[in-house]
A and B are shown apart, each in its own frame.
Chain A
Amino acid sequence: MIEIDKVTKTFGAGDVAFTALRDVSVTIRENEFFTLLGPSGCGKTTLLRLIAGFEPPTIGAIRLSGRDITRLPPNQRPVNTVFQNYALFPHMSVAGNIAFGLEMLGKPKDEIAKTVDEMLRLVRMEELKHRKTSEISGGQQQRVALARALAPHPEVLLLDEPLSALDLKLRKEMQIELKRLQSETGITFVFVTHDQEEALTMSDRIAVMSGGRILQIGNPREIYERPSERFVANFIGESNFLNGQLSAGSVTLEAGGTFTVQPPQGVADGKVSVLIRPEHVTVAGTGAEGAALTATVENVVYSGEATVAHLKLKTGEAIKARASNLPGASGLLETGAQVGVSVAPGAVTVLVD
């Protein structure tokens, strides 16, 4: 278990001081696949470096399994890192790289040899054992970096955008591979990505970061379906934002229709903005039963497995409706047509902002 306790990190001093992390607190559980998700520059790498011990926090404490490791140098922490650029030792072979951590821990020779072979098998790289790291492909380097970090069997594995340099197909394969490795080894994974889809498919829990803060922590379903802020909703998936009036547990949209909601804490009755995911919005004929709103069709975009209709409500607000394409169905919507719009029950989420 890793506890990040009110950590602030400021680089530089005076005029050039830059605060990369602001009062960040999070508890990462044992054996968890925990993901830090956020746009570039939001402080994900900085938080990883603090956990690894490459930098001390300016304020706050970091505890590992209850032990305060805030000032412990990196070589004394049972934490290993898969670096974004892999940082493989160019003067050592694949096997030499994987053996390095074990040698530093003073493990006996035969045990090292055994673990190295085991790791090579785990990442499916047995044939390339004696290759130089400069003579293997990016995907293979990525696996070696993974094997090198896993070999000493750390309590925590930190992965800094390990898949971002790979092409799409390889990335999908490695996503599955990483999940397999995590469940096989039982090691806590702290995974950094700026790819929301990757975060949703792989994580037990996700922390969404922006501007050096953690905005929301939750499992993928909570993050996707109940984002607390507009930023989170916008960063993850497609969103419709509408204005409405909250009173006594239900929201009446300006564009019409009243929906039962579970408002988050700290949101008072009154004007609010709400989120509705496009796939929870259905286009129906005008006056169709359950169609709470009416709209004009602005544009229809076909994208293979789904069709997205861009609609304009009578308030002028834009709303997107996304529907899976069924075999043989022809496009019924025409630009400029008046349509009814229905929203799935429970699909309206009140945002904090």
Chain B
Amino acid sequence: MSEQAAYRPGELEAEAQAADNRSRWMLALPAVVIITLAAAGPLMVMVVYSFLTPGDYGNVVWKFSLEGWMNTLVQRDIFDDTLIWADAHLSIFWRSFSLSLITTVLTLIFGVPTAWFIATQPPGKREFWLFLITVPFWTNLLVRTIAIQELLRSEGVINLVLLKLGIIDAPIQMMFTNFAIGFGMTYVYLPLMVLPVYAAVDKLDFRLVEAAHDLYAGRWTAFRRVILPLIKPGIIAGSILVFIPSLGAYVTPRVLGGGKNLMFGNLIELQFGQGRNWPLGAALSLMLMAAVMIALMWYVRVTSREQSDG
């Protein structure tokens, strides 16, 4: 601003640019505050807690320790103090991972045809079907899970019907099994698969399917070579939306799996509750987060590579 008389070209623009930047920052401020308070802050607390010592009645003692992280994978033998693998944890990791994978596959198997069916209905009827799919969202998760329990338990609907029909002589034990957890999670997460796949099918240009048939593709080949690659973004989104919350699922495994069939979410909860080992709980939470992020990156990379190959 030293030369007042003739403003140099560009000066006004630079000034406007700076003002623009300032107002942008002001506009972004609420978002920055919320993200800091709601996401980054708690995450930092978890990171710090995972390196501290557990207190006698929960909480933490401000003394640095790696025990929390070590205890995620290994434990000290009570008699000779040697380190051994924490088998209980490992089996829980494995159960969480495999049940989440199975849930994702099951929601794919049921969800893709459902989404296809809805998307190919006449426009007026689609809303009705979408409404039916989203209704469970408005019901409390616990209530829905207990409803599933009513279906599965020994005196439940399924067993009663099978007994009446004479197909079985004694009730099948379904509650508190991995089957019950998988069944419940598939039910709970199905809408999260149906909705993104529906959106993708809805966008699909069916003239391309006709073009494929015109060029001698049968139904299956047209699906594999044309439809599947085009609705893949929806399938990827659906799989991510189902797999990630499945890994950390808490209510469904707790109610349907009972005390024995714990999953990752229950294990974490245990450390902050009865276990009174907050550093271990914090370390487990961060591990889960890291696992989810690695799985995500791997999935996106693999699927996007396939896309560019086709």
Contacts and interface: CB of A to CB of B under 8 A. Distances in A.
Interface in B206-229: 207-208, 210-218, 221, 225-226, 229
A101 B215 contact: yes
Interface string A104-123: 11000000000000000000
A285 interface: no
Main secondary structure of the interface of B (DSSP, over half): helix
B210 A75 contact: no
B205 interface: yes
Contacts of B307: 91
B214 A75 contact: yes
B124 interface: no
A96 B230 CA distance: 15
A87 B215 CA distance: 12
B310 A91 contact: yes
A79 B216 CA distance: 9
Given A101-B216, A104-B217, A104-B221, A89 B211 contact: yes
Contacts, number: 59
B216 A104 contact: yes
A141 interface: no
B207 A152 contact: no
A87 B217 contact: no
Nearest to B230: A91
A100 B210 contact: no
Nearest to B229: A91
A273 to B, nearest CB: 43
B123 to A, nearest CB: 15
Nearest to A78: B216
Q: How large is the interface on A (under 10, 10 to 19, 20 to 34, 35 or more residues)?
A: 20 to 34
Contacts of B217: 75, 100, 104
A149 B225 CA distance: 17
Contacts of A53: 213
Interface string A276-311: 000000000000000000000000000000000000
B213 A83 contact: no
Given A89-B226, A92-B310, A104-B221, A73 B213 contact: yes
A239 B214 CA distance: 41
B212 A100 contact: yes
A11 B225 CA distance: 30
Interface string A57-83: 000000000000000011110011101
A324 interface: no
A75 B218 contact: yes
B216 A87 contact: no
Interface in A33-58: 52-54
A87 B218 contact: no
Interface of B: 205, 207-208, 210-218, 221, 225-226, 229-230, 307, 310
19 contacts: A54-B210, A74-B210, A74-B214, A79-B214, A80-B215, A85-B207, A88-B211, A89-B211, A89-B212, A91-B229, A92-B310, A96-B310, A100-B212, A104-B215, A104-B216, A104-B221, A148-B215, A149-B214, A149-B215
